[in-house]
Structure 1
Amino acid sequence: MLLSDVLKQHAANQPDRLITVFQGRETSYANMQENSRRLGGYFHRQGLVQGDVVALLLNNSDWFVTCYFACHFAGLIVLPINTRLAPREIEYILHHSEARMLVYDHDLSEIVEQVIPQAPNLQHFVHVGEGGGGFEIGEAIKLSGEIPELQQQEDDTAVIFYTSGTTGRPKGVMLTHRNCVAAASMWNEALGMQREDRVMIVAPLFHCAAAHVFMLPTIYGGGALVIEPGFHPQGVVESLQKNEVSIFFGVPAMYMILLNTPGIESMEVPHLRKFMYGAAPMPYELIRRIKQLFPQTGVQNLYGQTENSPGTTTLGDEHSLSKAGSVGKPLPRSEVRIVDEEGNEVPIGQVGEIAIKGDHVMKGYLKNPEATALAIRGGWLLSGDLGKFDEEGFLYIVDRKKDMLIRGGENIYPIEVEEVLYEMPEVLEAAVVGVPHEVYGEIPKACVVVKDGHSLTEEQVVVFCRERLAKYKVPALVEFVDELPRNASGKVLKTVLRGEIKFS
């Protein structure tokens, strides 16, 4: 099955049923298919051919869904880009992917103007929103065009998500139609989704989690998406009630904020049956408070990574407190095991690397066969996460990929920040670690050694980073130290740095 087939089937069987609700605008399955096909026709009219890459620099809206499927109807590869990235980070992605078209929010025009000179492959542009020159998406749909006869295969690349890597350069994760449909099927079953469900999306759709754990599985099951521009606590409270939402997903920081939002205790949500969370552990006490406030609503944990579409395990509501700290059991039609450095499965209770196998495991990294060979061995994806199974088959993560930290659901690899810090002429050495934060879980802190004869302030470091990094990657704290702790081989001991930090 191709991704376009999923939409085709529902448009034929339930044409008038809603697929999206966005700021009062409702779209049916039939209208979504029509708009997507016409936009795909416009892409071909501009000279794009099967296999070309279309980049989406879009905020959350129903237009994201339209563009996503337009690419698949036209045999094109869709590339969602994180709108929070700095211009030079976006430049790299556009250049590396050789994207030929960019669909962007008009609100992001200033960024687009900065990156265009550094992306010579970009030849066509469509914007969403009023104002400005060039083609607006509504005009493009009206122009349309014929989509030629295509010979698409399940193993053709359908989507590319760029994910940060420990090498400092983001890697393009290639997901096929088979990968995406498999993930949609797995999550639809694991989350017990129903055709009557209305699933609220507040997490950014440019992230694989929102797009492939909620957008696709909901559509796969014929349900409706209630799309919010972002996470605004009071707006979420109102929308949950007004739009009769049945499933909500958020990172733990969102739940902590929601529980302190005025009106939450009197909120009437009889249709709300599931609270989902992922990206970071949920404290036992927070889960308990949620279940106490909403006794009729289940709480379910989700774990996965972009390289597996994403999908590894899930912890159901019935175990949300008794197995707090676990990420649950493998998804349907997915294999998960714990292996040692040689790839051999280790005994129950022993710590090793989490490995995943299934139709949802990526095709590979774009233009990076070496990294692909290291990540996928014998059909098994090596996650880089260390974990263990208990006697009942529940998976526990005991450590994360090397030094990665998670700020409010956003992955931050310290090397990305460190490379920027080393661009400062005053910096001799730098190391970035995560420190605890009561809302975001973790925030990045930079430990900096200044060269002799030079001076540097925290403000100067922050301003320099802001110009070169996404806002969430900018160090929230800067500490100047005389030297960085190292082991006998000269490696910086970040465990020592994390242990030395006192934060309140």
Structure 2
Amino acid sequence: MTDAVSASVYGGPPPPAHFNIAQACLRYQTGASPDKPALVVAHDPADGSADEVWTYARLEDAVLRVSTVLLAMGVKKGDRILLRLGNTAGMAITFLAATAIGAIAIPLSSQLTGADIAFMAEDTEPALIVVASDLPIGDAGRDRRVVEEANLLARAETADRAAYLDTACDDPAYLVYTSGATSRPKGVLHGQRALWGRRPMYAGWYGICATDIVLHAGTLNWTYTLGTGLLDPLVNGATGVVFTGDRRPDIWPALIDRFQATLFAAVPTVYRQILKYCAMSPSAVPTLRHGLAAGEPLRPEIANAWHQATGRRIFEAFGMSEVSTYISTPPTETPRPGSPGRPQDGRAVAILPLEEGTKPIGRGETGLIAVHRSDPALMIGYWNRPDEDPFRGDWFVTGDLAVMDEDGYVWPKGRGDDVMKVMGYRVSAAEVEDVLCAAPGVAEVAVVAIEPRTGVSVIRACVVAQDGAALAPEKVLEFARSRLAAYKVPHEIVVTGALPRTANGKIQRAKLRDPIA
């Protein structure tokens, strides 16, 4: 039987010894096409006069002037900068400015609570917090330097332009928080080389070129949008478009048409909503070449329905924050429903045994997906987690279960731990459970992801009341909303007498997913 491995070591072009994300995204493009739109921030789907159009020259100018302000505020190479910002041009500019001077940018979801931000500030000890005026930071600003986004950008208007720092490819560049198997999110630290490591997906997933206009349905403080909607269009000399307004399903076909978008990126749920609420046809998205999907599994019925309605395909990619997307189907091939595709050219991906060992198992067998440590897209490591070793030898073990077939296609089989995929987000069951266990009257909690409808994943929390306590699901939900980001709040609360357990005392989570009678 053939081993379930694509290659024994990364086979793509190695990153140059010196590499800087911001410089790669802006310097050459500004020289070649200074007046070409690099980033468009749309505020009104019907009113183009409200659009913010940032050409390559204007965007680079803003990035280098903000870099100067950051340096003047005492930010040094390796310092952390928390970006508590919304879906704005300021978010893109500040992120690039931080990488330009060798600082570590930390984009944070706007849905996080003040308590979340306080934890992340304590974890990373940032030299600066850049904050939108309408987003809380809790106690994070205590004894730390904070600057409002508007103030930072205003100061940059009269600042000189800084120079790009000559960073090494392995120098830290940005850190993103992701839910893991513990009750607290963990920081994933990436190097400047991470952008170089995205190169295999340009042909292996996007088919992107400089003439493309990429519309992303997400927000720039989410790594999917940050990469696919901003960095990848920029480094390829294309145009990225994001939208700040109400995300109704009918907005997206209208924006595709108005901007003449050639690529549209979203989570599969967005495609399902568009199909449900919009009259779709090939003429509804006349310029669209194809769609891109990531963040959650793309159901075959959604992909098929989209193709039948629009005449365009959706190409799925599979990945995680630690290594970005590394499995996909290129637009030159026909997707196989149920599989995101094969490891991209150059990637060394293996399916390892469930328990231990570094020898790939056979094709057709279920095991854990692993990526070789030589891949430049792979993270530097987990921030402040010296005891957490996700490697087996030279293989980074992702925790995702899958089968690799004889043709090299990968068929995901869920997670090997308790991390849930909900609406495109990775959510730690342990984190949600820890919060709900603190709710008045709650003795035990177990949460699982369920699918009330095909392609829709939500959180169900099963709670056991303390002796003599009368638990009201509404009160538990209210408690959860006050302490969790919106996407982590359970969709339903089920009060039960006891949680199902094995003879060894382990919770039988599969039973918690059964329909409620």
Tell me the TM-score normalized by structure 1.
0.92
Give runs of aligned pairs for residues 470-481 of structure 1, distance below 5 A: 470-481=485-496
Q: Which residue in the other structure is 1:312 paired with?
A: 326
Whole-Å separation in 2 of the counterparts to 1:317 and 1:150: 36
- Identical columns (%): 26
Which one of 14, 19, 24 corresponds to residue 38 of structure 2?
19
Mapped partners of 2:495, 2:285: distance in 1: 50
Tell me the C-alpha RMSD between the 2 structures. 1.9
SS of 2:314's equivalent? strand
Which of 37, 45, 50 matches 2:64?
Answer: 37
Q: CA shift at 1:471, angstroms?
A: 1.2
Equivalent residue number for residue 20 of structure 2: 2
Give the one of 321, 330, 346 matched to 2:343.
330
Q: Which amino acid aligns with 2:107?
A: P
Q: Is structure 2 residue 320 aligned with structure 1 residue 301?
A: no
1:20–1:26 CA contact under 8 A, matched in 2? yes
Give the aligned partner of residue 462 of structure 2: 447
Answer yes or no: is 1:497 the counterpart of 2:512. Answer: yes
Of 297-306 and 61-70, deviating more is 61-70
1:187 aligned to which of 201, 205, 212: 201
Residue pair 2:115, 2:483 contacting (<8 A) in 1 also: yes
Q: Distance in 2 between matches of 1:149 and 1:311?
A: 27
Equivalent pair of 1:187/1:213 in contact (CA under 8 Å): no
CA contact (8 A) 2:370 2:398 kept: yes
**Does the CA-based 8 Å contact 1:287-1:299 persist in structure 2?**
yes
Q: Secondary structure in 1 aligned to 2:474? A: helix
Indicate conservation of the 8 Å contact 2:81/2:129, yes or no: yes
Contact residue 405 and residue 434 of structure 1 kept, 8 A = yes
Contact 2:77-2:101 at 8 Å conserved across structures = yes
Contact 1:179 1:360 in 2 (8 A): yes
Query: How many residues are matched?
Result: 484
1:361 and 2:378 are equivalent in the alignment? yes
Q: Distance in 2 between matches of 1:432 and 1:63?
A: 37
1:202/1:229 contact within 8 Å kept: no
1:436 to 419, 444, 451: 451
Letter in 2 for 1:126: E
The Cα shift of 1:263 comes to 4.4
Partner of 2:231: 216
Structure 1 residues 330 and 93 mapped into 2: Cα distance closer, same or farther (>3 Å)? same
Distance (whole Å) between structure 2 residues aligned to residue 29 and residue 233 of structure 1: 30
Deviation at 1:245, TM superposition (A): 0.4
Distance 2:471 2:239 in 1: 52
In the TM superposition, what whole-angstrom CA distance separates every residue of 1:110-140 from its partner, at most 9, and x where no partner exists?
A: x13xx2x344452131224xxxxxx2x4312
> Residues 257 and 439 of structure 1 are in contact (CA less than 8 Å); yes or no, is this contact kept in structure 2?
no
Cα deviation, 1:292-341, whole Å, max 9, x if unaligned, reads 1221x232011100000x122002456655x2111211123211110112
- State the partner residue of 2:116: 89
- 1:69-468 matches, cutoff 5 A: 69-108=96-135, 111-112=136-137, 115=138, 117-120=139-142, 122-128=144-150, 135=151, 137-144=152-159, 147=162, 150-183=165-198, 185-190=199-204, 191-229=206-244, 231-265=247-281, 267-295=283-311, 297-308=312-323, 310-317=324-331, 323-340=336-353, 341-357=356-372, 358-371=375-388, 373=389, 375-438=390-453, 441-468=456-483
> In 1, Cα distance between the equivalents of 2:61 and 2:338?
45
Distance in 1, matches of 2:183 and 2:503, equals 24
Where structure 2 has 5 or more consecutive residues not aligned to the other structure, the ranges are: 1-18, 43-50
Query: For residue 13 of structure 2, what is the aligned residue in structure 1?
Result: none
Residues in 1 aligned to 2:284 and 2:463: alpha-carbon distance in whole angstroms: 50
For residue 281 of structure 1, report the CA deviation from its aligned partner: 2.0
Secondary structure of 1:21's aligned partner? strand
Residue by residue, what CA displacement relative to the aligned partner does 1:151-202 show, whole Å, maximum 9, x if unpaired? 521111101000011111111100001122221x222222210100000012
Q: Which amino acid aligns with 2:20?
A: L
Q: 2:459·2:492 contact (CA, 8 Å) conserved in 1?
A: yes
Contact 2:61 2:161 in 1 (8 A): no
Q: Secondary structure at the match of 2:399?
A: strand
Q: How many angstroms does 1:147 deviate by? A: 4.1
Give 1:234 shift: 2.4
The whole-number CA distance in structure 1 between the counterparts of 2:286 and 2:164 is 47
Aligned to 2:47: none
Contact preservation (8 Å) 1:327, 1:395: yes
Q: State the partner residue of 1:131.
A: none
More displaced, 479-488 or 310-319?
A: 310-319
The answer (yes or no) to whether the contact 1:356–1:380 under 8 Å persists in 2 is: yes
Q: How does 1:56-71 map to 2 (within 5 A)?
A: 56-71=83-98
1:302–1:313 CA contact under 8 A, matched in 2: yes
Distance in 2, matches of 1:362 and 1:416, equals: 23
Greater mean alpha carbon deviation, residues 224-233 or residues 272-281: 224-233
Tell me, in whole angstroms, the C-alpha distance in 1 between the residues paired with 2:140 and 2:316.
40
Paired AA for residue 226 in structure 1:
V
Which deviates more from structure 2 when the two are superposed, residues 63-72 or residues 398-407? 398-407
Letter paired with 2:64 = R
Residues 405 and 149 of structure 1: is their aligned pair in 2 closer, same or farther, counting only changes over 3 Å? closer
Q: Deviations over 1:371-416 (max 9, x none)?
A: 1x2x133332110011111111100111224232222112222111
Cα separation, 1, equivalents of 2:229 and 2:346? 18
Choose 388-397 or 284-293, whichever is displaced more.
284-293
Q: Distance in 1 between matches of 2:60 and 2:367?
A: 45
